[in-house]
Structure 1
Amino acid sequence: MNIQKVTFRNADMAWDMAALILLPEGFDESKRYPTMVSVHPFGSCKEQTSSAVYGKALAELGYVVIAFDASFQGESGGSPRYVEDPSQRVEDISRVIDYAVSLPYVDEDRIGGLGICGGGAYIFSSALTEKRLKAVVGITPVNLGRLFREGFSQYNPIGALEAMATQRTAEARGAELQVNELLPPSPEFAKQNGMTERDLFEATDYYKTPRGQAEGGATRMLFSHAQKTLSWDAFAFVETLMTQPMMAVVGQKLGAFGAYRDGHEVYGRSIVSKDRQLVELQDWSHYDLYDHPQAVSLAMEKIGPFLSQHL
């Protein structure tokens, strides 16, 4: 498998986007290939699960895979840094598709999308209006708007919005940017401080150890620019606009980030999808689905035939 590192800029952008293109074995540029856009989780980067795990698995099945860094994050441009804006994250997917269809070896009629965690919800949201996506898969998808309104704001979204407003005003007047670290610094610190809730602890074990740590995976967020996240719903209009085949893959070991709940919701509401599928993995958790070989293998056993049928 060949991996190419690229940057590109669309006409509507003031910054470059960075991506990895994973090419299947025996790649021939004169041929046209089914292509997958791979979307990284909230707080992640292209070098982590979106390329190294699912991107690799998809390329081994014969797909061209484009795993990219979100705007304002990783190696992609955009300022200020560490902005998590759902509308921008969804628009980034269209920007990547714009780039993909400019490549002679991409079959524009066989483009799909896969996302993990927040990226899973973003790929579902994108598919509602981005009909160049012909099939989409969400791996342990988390509706970030719902999570921000609930646990991330301690169930006080209005208080969070007021604090963001105050901080943004201060920054506009010259104060230092408030960049929040989203996770404990290490699993040991988490244990010592009673931070052992499954998703929080397993996220720390992934992002803060050599298991998943990557330079671009900063797990940081610019607090003052997160307001729009609280009014966003990844699954708005799913009942009427999710026409493409869709698959949600969830683990039955539950955690506070709510992917099991969100996966069931988007599946249940996708009533106009040409083929909707829900895959539940009994013995696995949210972060097992990032990189645990057996969990990923079980997921790919379902994803492979689903994509083969529709792409």
Structure 2
Amino acid sequence: MAWDIATLILTPPGFDRNKKYPTIISVHPFGSCKEQTSSAVYGKALAEHGFVVIAFDASYQGESGGAPRWIESPSQRVADVSHVIDYAVTLPYVDAERIGGIGICGGGGYILNATLTEKRIKAAVGITPVNIGRLFREGFSQYNPLGALDAMAAQRTKEALGGELQVNELLPASPEAATAAGLTEIDVFEATDYYKTPRGQQPGGWTRMLFSHAQQTLAWDAFNFSETLMNQPMMVVIGQKAGAFGAYCDGMEAYGRATASKDRQLVSLQGWSHYDLYDQAEPVALAMEQMLPFLKQHVAGE
């Protein structure tokens, strides 16, 4: 079975489709969509500096195809990156020898994982990257991964027999609802502020997950084999204000394990949080200050 992947293609000022441009594949966070930070913030900034940027919706999410909806499949998310590159290299204005990747949050984990085996990616940047497998084994399963797997198995059997799908909403309905429920931990509250208010809310960014199809996520590791297979240049950008979703620790791990990388760089920003790096002007500017020369060197060849 095949389906379409929906993309947004951002182009540089003075774009000329008869020229070839360095190109960045931009991967959105878990629960997000292409219209949010992957295109509107980082994609826009990179396009302004001469890159073509392709931001896309994950399979089963946003405007991309795939059913049932709201599946979060790490293996599919990583495969999507290669499918988007397959499309990118057919575009006359994309330089197939100058392709890089970025990803934010879960997308940061996915782009780093994709880079392990997708050698058309010349360099990758994980922006506040989260290892979704680790998060599911820990906080998202309430530190009971075997219990979560048993519940998923029972629910999947129920659905196979015609029962109603269990779609989990991952966040409170509003910051006010989060406060009322005592959900004021920094990552949970700031995620709600981003996804559930005009700050970042978009029709495709549902922050939903089909519970019964998440089993494989618990056995997945974004950084497995990094010591051997991550030979491309890689950068990790993290905020030092750590939260429950674990991007600070995951970013440190991703950087620490990439010992085969030709140029590994860690950008650790004091005083900024995971969700600050989604769209807040100052930390985004600090991140871009480091990302831009890195990508220009290793992808654009400047």
Structure-2-length-normalised TM-score: 0.99
1:27 pairs with 2:50: no
Correspondence for 1:75: 63
1:218 pairs with 2:206: yes
1:309 pairs with 2:260: no
The aligned runs of 1:68-147 (5 Å cut-off) are 68-147=56-135
Correspondence for 1:157: 145
Q: Quote the Cα distance in structure 2 between the aligned partners of 1:241 and 1:15.
A: 29
The aligned runs of 1:2-81 (5 Å cut-off) are 14-81=2-69
Aligned-partner SS, 2:6: strand
Shift of 1:283: 1.2
Q: Quote the Cα distance in structure 1 between the aligned partners of 2:3 and 2:181.
A: 40
Aligned-CA RMSD value: 0.5
Q: Quote the Cα distance in structure 2 between the aligned partners of 1:14 and 1:237.
A: 29
Aligned-partner SS, 1:147: helix
Runs of 4+ residues over 2 Å off in structure 1 = none
Q: Which amino acid aligns with 1:190?
A: A
Correspondence for 2:218: 230
Q: Quote the Cα distance in structure 2 between the aligned partners of 1:115 and 1:125.
A: 11
Q: Which runs of 5+ in 1 are unaligned?
A: 1-12
1:188 pairs with 2:176: yes
Q: Which amino acid aligns with 1:51?
A: S
The aligned runs of 1:292-307 (5 Å cut-off) are 292-307=280-295
1:205 pairs with 2:174: no
1:40-87: per-residue Cα shift (whole Å, max 9, x none)? 000000000000000000001100000000000000000000000000
1:100-126: per-residue Cα shift (whole Å, max 9, x none)? 000011011110000000000000000
1:148 to 107, 128, 136: 136
Shift of 1:129: 0.3
Shift of 1:191: 0.5
Q: Which runs of 5+ in 2 are unaligned?
A: none
Q: Quote the Cα distance in structure 2 between the aligned partners of 1:123 and 1:133.
A: 9
Aligned-partner SS, 1:280: strand
Correspondence for 1:246: 234
Aligned-partner SS, 1:17: coil
Q: Quote the Cα distance in structure 1 between the aligned partners of 2:46 and 2:110.
A: 19
Correspondence for 1:290: 278
Q: Quote the Cα distance in structure 2 between the aligned partners of 1:125 and 1:254.
A: 22
Q: Quote the Cα distance in structure 2 between the aligned partners of 1:265 and 1:120.
A: 13
Q: Which amino acid aligns with 2:29?
A: P
Q: Quote the Cα distance in structure 2 between the aligned partners of 1:221 and 1:28.
A: 40
Q: Quote the Cα distance in structure 2 between the aligned partners of 1:258 and 1:193.
A: 22
Q: Which amino acid aligns with 2:158?
A: A
Q: Which amino acid aligns with 2:19?
A: K
Q: Which amino acid aligns with 2:123?
A: A
Shift of 1:193: 1.1
Q: Quote the Cα distance in structure 2 between the aligned partners of 1:105 and 1:208.
A: 37
1:185-230: per-residue Cα shift (whole Å, max 9, x none)? 0000111110000000000000000000000000000000000000
Q: Which amino acid aligns with 2:264?
A: R
Q: Quote the Cα distance in structure 1 between the aligned partners of 2:35 and 2:183.
A: 27
Q: Quote the Cα distance in structure 2 between the aligned partners of 1:66 and 1:216.
A: 17
Structure-1-length-normalised TM-score: 0.96
Shift of 1:14: 1.4
Q: Quote the Cα distance in structure 1 between the aligned partners of 2:4 and 2:70.
A: 15
Aligned-partner SS, 1:195: coil
Q: Quote the Cα distance in structure 2 between the aligned partners of 1:15 and 1:128.
A: 25
Q: Which amino acid aligns with 1:269?
A: R
Q: Quote the Cα distance in structure 1 between the aligned partners of 2:292 and 2:212.
A: 40
Aligned length: 299
1:241-270: per-residue Cα shift (whole Å, max 9, x none)? 000000000000010000000000010010
Percent of residue pairs bearing the same amino acid type: 75
Q: Which amino acid aligns with 1:184?
A: P
Q: Which amino acid aligns with 2:153?
A: A
Q: Quote the Cα distance in structure 2 between the aligned partners of 1:28 and 1:189.
A: 48
